[in-house]
Amino acid sequence: MYASQWFLTLFAVNFSFDVLMRIWDVYLLEGEKMIYRVAIAILLKNESELLQKSFEDLMSTVKEMYIVGDIEELISKALSLKITNSVLHVLHLEYEDSPDEEVKELLLIQ
């Protein structure tokens, strides 16, 4: 829920143009796995702050989160994460086989 806007817009809503161009540059080179890597890297970068928040505060914080600091550091962190296309494919197949009922309701999948 909190990162859907990131995924739908490929980070265009929350991040400045120069940061966005760097993310898209690596995305075009690496493929869709980079979107997941960047999202996780952003969450890891802000982990200590996010863990202290209530669920409601967490949702609003992530929706309004901007990248502050060195974009190259974030890209390096994202590239160090071991998320591959094969991992994404396996997760997709697992979800298709037995999606969580709550997620199905949120996605309006019957």
Compute the average pLDDT of residues 34-56.
89
**Cα 1 to Cα 21: distance, rounded to the nearest angstrom:** 24
pLDDT in tens, 3-39: 777 778 888 887 888 889 999 999 999 988 998 899 8
pLDDT for the residue numbered 68: 65
**pLDDT at residue 97 above 90?**
no
pLDDT for the residue numbered 110: 38
Give the right CATH number for 4-82 from 1.10.10.60, 3.90.226.10, 1.10.472.80, 1.10.3720.10.
Answer: 1.10.472.80
Closest CA to 61 of 71, 40, 46, 75: 46
**Cα 33 to Cα 81: distance, rounded to the nearest angstrom:** 10
Q: Write the burial class of residue 67 (CB in 10 Å: 0-12 exposed, 13-18 middle, 19+ buried).
A: buried
**pLDDT at residue 107 above 60?**
no
